[in-house]
Every structure is written in structure tokens, then in C-alpha cells.
């Protein structure tokens, strides 16, 4: 029955190329800013100083790299799951070009210093409007495709996309409200405490609804498709989907503990953060339990290895996050490199792992050929995993050391490290290891890019799924 439906693979191919392109660019930015934090001479030019490049790194990873992977998966999986062609291929193409125009304008305008100065919502109002336009095009296309479906059941991956598309729209519109003064400058309509709370309601839920729910959708799609095994438990899907999307929204104030944010709000943020462990681990367990059904394949299959490590980091980050949201822990971790360790455990471990699995799953099918080299995929896995460990462990140590030095007092009760620069010097070795971890991680990513380029060279030669279990022949 599937054969009768014409699926638009071209739009998926276009977005897959963007995953690789924006991935390399955004990770390269990350490496530059990492080196700028140890060698200030790396601030080569006013447009390339740390304060200008950091938002290009964060926005590039979130909206460029991850965004491309999300859109590729939506355009690939949703028509297939709902057994209907994409409602409008041309609308998807308009989305694609406007989206890429946004990424280019974003990079240029951030380098020029045009910024709203709200983390992950830096882009100035004309670009915000552009984002709203293509998000709306995506939403219309998505919901019309849903309307035309011939499959009665809506699979859980689609639920997560529904929640993503609706919630991101709401968050984006509310947080970006600003009064423009010229094309390149605006002021947030909120101020001080109100602005901070609205912003972290957005910022925290950008993590939730751009880096978690769509990635869970991807996990729910690629894992069963790749292993050809059903997801372990539909009941877990139900419980963790509804509880996850309900609880996540409340947790934003954990970014503002010990600030002048109302105390009740801080407590709400902390409590809901702790509650988040359950639905997060529900998703992780459903993934793990599905994976264990195919455990003999993990040994030799890089795609499954990525999903395994990805789920491991997801579980770890979603336990670590709530712990860091406890006031007393936050008093140590806040403002330190520990936060950086936390986001990169999530970003390099969870987000990149699922996205890499997506690329390895999609490319052979989209270009109708086998992957150029499973061995290179395996190398990518090991190089990036070592990179993640160097990165995350060095930042944990750096963050805790930093937090402890800030509060250390001598016998007389006065600060043991009153000099800020002295603390910075202590952190040098950890930050060096972090930068090298980043270099290693990008090297792994480049190995994937090379592997994919070589794969596309044999496009059309026919895709035959290979059973990678030891001892079995292709």
C-alpha cells in the first residue's frame, strides 16, 4: 500500500544536507569560542569576538543543526506514518529557502552586533517575523497532512511533533514581543524581573520543545524503524508524553534561583524540575527497553550505538538538570562551567546522537544506495564519544572547582580567592581539555560528512538493508 503513495524525498535530502552544513559551521564556532576563553588573542576582529560568536554557536546548533534534523524527520516520517503524501511540496520548499535565508541573516546580523540580548532569542525583529512566517508554513503543511491521513492511528512520534509545533509558536511570539527602533534594534516590551521570567519560560522550553520533544519524536521513529521492532510500551508513551509536555512549562524559573524573582515562583520552578525526572526517564526507558530487544545488534551497528549513548546522556542530563534546579545545588552550580557541562551532555550526547542516527538512517534510503562505510560510521561514533567525555568531564571539574573557589574562605572568614583572574588561571587546563574535546568531536562529525558525501557518489545503486550482526553476511 505504501508503494502507491508518492513521497517527496527531495525536500528531505535538502534538509539532510543542511544538517551537515550547519552542523559543521556551528560546531566550528563553538571551537573558536572555546579557544577564545583560553587564548584571548583568538578574538581576531570586532565581528569575530567572543560576544558576537557565542550566539552564532548556540543559535546555529539549536536552530541550524538541530532544526534541519527536525524538519528532515518531519517531512520524511510524518507522511509515511500517516500514509498520505505531504500536503504541499512547494510550501515545504518555500519553508526550506526562507529557513536557510534566516540562518544566513542570523549569522551575519549577530556578527554585526544586532541582537535582542536574550539567549536563544537574539535575532532582531525582522528576522523574527521571517521565522514566524516559515514556522506557520510548516504548521499548515503539517496539520493539512494530518487531516489527509489514511492511517487511522496517529503514532506517538507525531504527537511529539504536534506539541513541538504548537508550543514553539506560543513561546516565540510571547518572548519576542518588542518595540522596534529602526530595522536593526528593538527593546523588549517587558523589563527586569518580568522580562527575566518570560525569557526563561521561553529559554527553558526551547530546550524542552526544540531539543527534547522533537528529538523524542525522532527516537520514536528511527529506533523501531531501524531495529524493525515495535516500541516497547505504548502505555509508557502515553503517560510520559502527556506528563512531559504538561510539567516542562513550569520549570523555567529554575534559571532564576536566588534572583529577585518571587520566591513562590522559584519554588514552583524547582519542584516541577524535580517532577520532570519521571516523564523524562519514561521516555529514556521506553527507548532503552526497545533497544534491549535488539541488543545483539548494538555491538556492530553504529546507528544503534549512537542511539544507546544518546539515551544514556538523555537520562543523565534529565537527572542532572533537576538536581541542579535544587536551590542548594544551584547555589554552587549557577554561573559556572557546570552549566556548560550540563548543556553539552545534552547537546553533544543526546541531541547529536539522535541526529547522527537520523542521518545514518535517512541517507542510504534517500539516495538509494548503501552507506559508503560502516567502519567510518563506527569511527565517528568512537571519536565523538571520547570527545564528549573529555568535554563534559573537564567542564564538570572546572565548574565545581570554580563554584568552590568563589565561596572558599580562610580561617578568618574572608574570601580565599578574592582575585578573579587567579580563579580564571586555575581553570585554564580544564578549559584547554574542553577545547580539545570539542576539536575531537568536530573531527568525528567531519568523518560523518565525508562518509555521507562518498555515499551520495553511488546514489541510485540500490539500497539493501544490511544485517550487521556478527557472523551474518550481507
Stretch that binds another protein, among 67-75, 184-192, 273-281, 297-305 (CB under 8 A): 184-192
Size of the site for another protein (CB under 8 A): 94
**Which set of grid coordinates corresponds to residue 79?**
507522511
Alpha helices (runs of H) in 112-233, residue ranges in sequence order: 125-147, 156-175, 192-210, 213-227
Interaction of residue 469 with another protein, rule CB under 8 A: no
CB of 285 to another protein, least distance (A): 17
CB nearer to another protein: pick between 42 and 288 = 42
C-beta pairs of 272-278 under 8 Å, 24+ apart in sequence: 272/247, 272/248, 273/321, 273/322, 273/325, 274/322, 274/325, 274/326, 275/247, 276/244, 276/247, 276/248, 276/251, 276/318, 276/321, 276/322, 277/318, 277/319, 277/322, 278/240, 278/243
Alpha helices (runs of H) in 148-191, residue ranges in sequence order: 156-175
> Which candidate, 209, 215, 218, places its Cα nearest to that of 135?
209
CB of 124 to another protein, least distance (A): 11
Interaction of residue 78 with another protein, rule CB under 8 A: no
* Side-chain-facing half-sphere of 156: CA atoms under 13 Å: 27
Burial string for 238-263 (b: 16+ CB within 10 Å, else e) reads eebbebbbebbbbbbbbbbbeeebee
d(CA 223, CA 355): 12
Stretch that binds another protein, among 61-69, 386-394, 407-415, 459-467 (CB under 8 A): 407-415
Stretch that binds another protein, among 15-23, 264-272, 361-369, 442-450 (CB under 8 A): 264-272
Residues 313-342 that bind another protein (CB under 8 A): 331, 334-336, 339-340
CB of 276 to another protein, least distance (A): 12
Place of cell 544551584: 330
Stretch that binds another protein, among 87-95, 185-193, 222-230, 459-467 (CB under 8 A): 185-193
| Contact of 133 with 98, CB cutoff 8 Å | yes
Beta bridge partners of 179: 187
Residues 91-120 that bind another protein (CB under 8 A): 113-119
Interaction of residue 177 with another protein, rule CB under 8 A: no
Residues 283-302 that bind another protein (CB under 8 A): none
Interaction of residue 429 with another protein, rule CB under 8 A: no
Phi, psi of 187 (to 5 degrees): -120, 130
Interaction of residue 460 with another protein, rule CB under 8 A: no
408: left (phi over 0), alpha (psi -120 to 50) or beta: beta
CB nearer to another protein: pick between 299 and 407 = 407
CB of 174 to another protein, least distance (A): 8
Place of cell 507525531: 158
Residues 216-235 that bind another protein (CB under 8 A): 234-235
Contact string 32-71 vs another protein (x = CB under 8 A): ----xxx-x--x--x--xxxx-xx----------------
CB nearer to another protein: pick between 36 and 369 = 36
Quickly count: other Cβ atoms within 10 Å of residue 471's Cβ: 6
CB nearer to another protein: pick between 15 and 63 = 63
Stretch that binds another protein, among 84-92, 180-188, 356-364, 442-450 (CB under 8 A): 180-188
Interaction of residue 271 with another protein, rule CB under 8 A: no
Contact string 116-145 vs another protein (x = CB under 8 A): xxxx-----------------------x--
Amino acid at each position: 500500500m505504501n508503494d502507491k503513495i508518492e513521497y517527496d524525498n527531495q525536500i528531505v535530502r535538502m534538509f539532510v544536507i543542511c544538517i551537515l552544513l550547519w552542523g559543521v559551521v556551528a560546531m566550528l564556532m563553538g571551537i573558536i569560542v572555546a579557544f577564545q576563553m583560553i587564548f584571548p588573542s583568538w578574538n581576531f576582529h570586532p565581528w569575530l569576538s567572543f560576544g558576537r560568536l557565542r550566539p552564532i554557536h548556540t543559535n546555529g546548533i539549536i536552530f541550524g543543526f538541530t532544526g534541519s534534523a527536525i524538519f528532515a524527520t518531519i517531512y520524511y516520517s510524518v507522511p509515511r506514518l500517516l500514509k498520505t503524501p505531504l500536503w504541499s511540496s512547494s510550501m515545504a520548499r518555500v519553508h526550506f529557502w526562507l529557513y536557510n535565508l534566516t540562518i544566513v541573516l542570523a549569522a551575519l546580523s549577530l556578527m554585526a552586533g544586532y541582537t535582542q540580548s536574550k539567549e536563544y532569542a537574539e535575532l532582531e525583529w525582522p528576522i523574527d517575523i521571517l521565522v514566524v512566517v516559515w514556522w506557520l508554513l510548516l504548521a499548515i503543511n503539517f496539520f493539512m497532512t494530518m487531516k489527509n491521513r489514511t492511517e487511522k492511528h496517529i503514532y506517538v512520534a507525531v504527537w511529539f511533533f504536534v506539541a513541538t509545533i504548537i508550543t514553539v509558536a506560543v513561546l516565540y511570539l510571547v518572548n519576542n514581543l518588542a518595540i522596534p527602533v529602526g530595522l536593526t534594534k528593538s527593546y523588549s516590551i517587558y523589563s527586569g524581573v518580568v522580562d527575566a521570567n518570560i525569557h526563561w519560560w521561553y529559554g527553558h522550553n526551547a530546550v524542552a520543545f526544540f531539543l527534547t520533544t522533537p528529538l523524542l519524536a525522532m527516537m520514536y521513529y528511527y529506533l523501531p524503524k531501524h531495529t524493525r521492532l515495535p516500541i516497547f510500551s505504548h502505555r509508557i508513551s502515553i503517560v510520559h508524553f502527556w506528563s512531559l509536555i504538561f510539567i516542562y512549562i513550569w520549570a523555567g524559573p529554575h534559571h532564576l534561583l536566588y534572583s529577585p524573582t518571587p520566591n513562590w515562583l522559584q519554588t514552583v520552578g524547582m519542584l516541577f524540575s524535580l517532577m520532570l525526572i519521571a516523564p523524562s526517564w519514561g521516555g529514556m526507558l521506553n527507548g532503552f527497553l526497545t533497544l534491549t530487544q535488539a541488543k545483539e545488534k548494538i555491538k556492530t551497528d553504529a546507528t544503534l550505538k549512537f542511539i544507546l549513548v544518546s539515551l544514556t546522556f538523555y537520562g543523565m542530563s534529565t537527572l542532572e538538570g533537576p538536581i541542579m534546579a535544587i536551590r542548594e545545588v544551584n547555589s554552587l552550580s549557577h554561573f559556572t562551567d557546570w552549566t556548560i557541562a550540563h548543556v553539552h551532555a545534552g547537546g553533544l550526547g543526546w541531541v547529536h546522537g539522535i541526529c547522527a542516527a537520523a542521518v545514518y538512517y535517512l541517507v542510504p534510503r534517500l539516495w538509494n544506495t548503501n552507506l559508503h562505510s560502516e567502519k567510518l560510521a563506527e569511527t565517528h561514533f568512537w571519536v565523538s564519544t571520547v570527545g564528549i567525555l573529555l568535554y563534559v568531564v573537564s567542564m564538570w571539574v572546572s565548574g565545581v572547582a570554580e563554584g568552590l573557589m568563589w565561596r572558599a574562605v580562610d580561617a578568618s572568614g574572608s574570601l580565599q580567592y578574592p582575585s578573579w583572574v587567579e580563579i580564571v588561571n586555575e581553570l585554564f587546563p580544564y578549559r584547554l581539555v574542553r577545547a580539545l574535546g570539542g576539536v575531537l568531536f568536530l573531527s568525528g562529525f567531519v568523518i560523518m560528512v565525508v562518509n555521507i558525501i562518498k555515499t551520495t557518489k553511488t546514489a541510485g545503486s540500490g539500497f539493501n538493508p544490511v544485517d550487521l550482526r556478527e557472523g551474518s553476511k550481507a
